[in-house]
Each structure stands twice: as C-alpha cells, then as structure tokens.
Copies of this chain bind each other. A is one copy, B any other.
C-alpha cells in the first residue's frame, strides 16, 4: 500500500523538487541559481522552499562545509505516480482515454519508451478479451 503522504507538494515546491531531481543532488547555491532564474525567485524564497521540503520529508540533507547537500528522499517517478493517480482520480467518466491520448501526444518519448507503451497496450487488449468483467 502506498504510504499516505499527507503533506503534498505545492506548486512552488514541485519546481524546486524538479531541479533537485534533475541534478540528483544539489547545494543551495545551485538551486538558488537554477530555480531562481527559472521562476524569478530571490534566494530567500528558495531557502524557504528548501526548508519546507526538508520538513515535509521530501529532501534529505548532509552537512558539507557551511551548508547542506540536498538530495531527494524519494524517486521522482514514485512521487509523480502519486500525483498521476490523483489526477486520474479526478478524471470524469470517459475522459481517461482522451487524457492519456493528450499526454502521449505532447510528450517527447524515445523509441524505448514507445516500445514499453506499445507492449502495455497489447497486454491490456489481450486481457480485455478474456476478461469477463465487461458489462456493456
């Protein structure tokens, strides 16, 4: 079961996390620079967000020099999955298919990605045929 993560990421916190996930690990300076530049934030703002992320358990720290090295406490994909589940849970009847279609269209995917997706679709189709849980 998924550990009920009650403290969800806010919009601003997501931006910071994306930076740290991309860098794998980062020092405050790097986050100030990248995230600050990207969103027009002052270092002060980024500091607050980093602190909140640590408090919420999304970032771990290791002391180095006068500061910390920040690193993600969870993989990006696991957090993304949770967010995706929430999104899917909000999808009204009949919108799931079109939603996935849109995402597929607007995503940059490589050959390998497309292959896995193809395979998943094939499997799903197969299990649709044998699956007698379809009541139309």
Contacts and interface: CB of A to CB of B under 8 A. Distances in A.
Interface of A: 8, 11, 14-15, 17-18, 21-22, 76-77, 80-81, 83-88, 90-93, 95-114, 116-118, 120-121, 124-125, 128, 134
Contacts of A21: 92-93, 95
B100 A103 contact: yes
A39 to B, nearest CB: 12
B92 A113 contact: no
How many monomers of this protein are in the complex?
2
A57 B94 CA distance: 23
Contacts of A80: 87, 90-92, 95, 99, 102
A96 B107 contact: yes
A102 B81 contact: yes
A109 B95 contact: no
Contact of A84 (B103, B121, B134): B103
Given A21-B92, A95-B76, A125 B111 contact: yes
Contacts of A113: 96-97, 100-101
Contacts of A128: 110-111, 114
